[in-house]
Amino acid sequence: MKLLITGGCGFIGSNFVRFWRDKYPFDSIEVIDKLTYAGHRENIKNVKNIKIHIGDICNNNPIERVAKNKDVIVHFAAESHVDRSISVPDDFIKTNIIGTHNLLKVALKMKIKLFHHVSTDEVFGSLPLKGNEKFSESSIYNPHSPYSASKASSDHLVRAYYETYGLPITISNTSNNFGPYQDPEKLIPRIVTNLILGKKVPLMGKGENVRDWIYVEDHCSAIDLIIHSGLKDKKIIGETFCIGANEEKSNLEIAIDILKHFSKGKNWIEYIPHRLGHDLRYAIDASKIKRVLDWRPKYSFDEYLSKTIEWYKQNITWWEKYKIN
């Protein structure tokens, strides 16, 4: 199989590149990445037999060149940090909407066998803190930030190319990922790296906001299954799958869990104001992918949070140059 992976130098994308190369050593893998603040070539520098193209998905020329003769496009490339989307929304509109549209046009022109679009549960908005309601494939879109609105727009464009032009597509909406190579501005690595540096832990509000967490390799395995199922079974084409591990944690619980690893108490938490439009709770109902594709998460949150913390302890030279605060 010949794959083009957009955003393959970012957090989830680079984990996916390593996952795919390990599992399918004879497949052809090419990566295109703009190498923004969150995409680093060194994330996949030790992965053998891949080609890396430095380019912007908003520019048709490199996209057409690298997409030629590919079987599958796996689209990770996106601006993804909510706080940044509030301060510089233009970048999110350009990359997440216009960039995705350019990819879709090229995929159609090159007759790609499958275009898999990686999205987020944030497109569905916010759930009440109390209750058992979860997001599913039938949830109504209700984005609350420029980031989630731009991802919602890209989801709709991908579906439109399937419905209008017959482009073979699949979509996945995932819960919060954690694991190695995640930028230190994100919640878990920010807490961990602050503590390594002896700094207090910033926490919005009272840390009451809840997220559903999944280890990044579980996310990769789900995408793998969707891609191979889509290539074999036409019934999967055009389908959306929600991917989550049923690990709901408040931000305060996350902070306390990490503090325990460092033998520190709540006095190390520094409470800060909420961001604008801060969603209360995300939760994923992953019953469809379990039922249709027989996928299950493999990695427990507690064990792989510990492994993630150890990774950051062992890889200070990777993250220290990217840490802003």
Among 160, 85, 170, residue whose Cα is nearest residue 119: 170
Measured CA to CA in angstroms, residue 311 lies from 67, 192, 268, 308 at distances of 34, 10, 21, 5
Instruction: Label the pairing between strands 248-250 and 210-215.
Output: antiparallel
The verdict on whether 90 is a catalytic residue reads: no
State the helix-helix crossing angle for 60-67 and 100-109, rounded to 10 degrees: 40
Euclidean distance between CA atoms 191 and 258, whole angstroms: 7
Euclidean distance between CA atoms 229 and 292, whole angstroms: 10
Euclidean distance between CA atoms 75 and 66, whole angstroms: 13
Which one of the listed residues 56, 79, 147, 161 is annotated catalytic?
A: 147
Which one of the listed residues 33, 122, 217, 239 is annotated catalytic?
A: 122
Question: For 185-221, b where at least 16 C-beta lie within 10 A, e where not — what string?
Answer: bbbbbbbbbbbbeeeebebbeebbbbbbbbbbbbbbb
Q: Is 60 left (phi over 0), alpha (psi -120 to 50) or beta?
A: alpha
State the helix-helix crossing angle for 100-109 and 146-165, rounded to 10 degrees: 20
The verdict on whether 121 is a catalytic residue reads: yes
Which one of the listed residues 121, 183, 212, 279 is annotated catalytic?
A: 121
Helix (H) or strand (E) holding 271: strand 269-272
Q: Where are the beta strands (DSSP E) in 7-109?
A: 28-33, 50-54, 72-75
Other CB atoms within a 10 A radius of the CB of residue 108 amount to: 16
Which residues are marked as active site? Answer: 121-122, 147
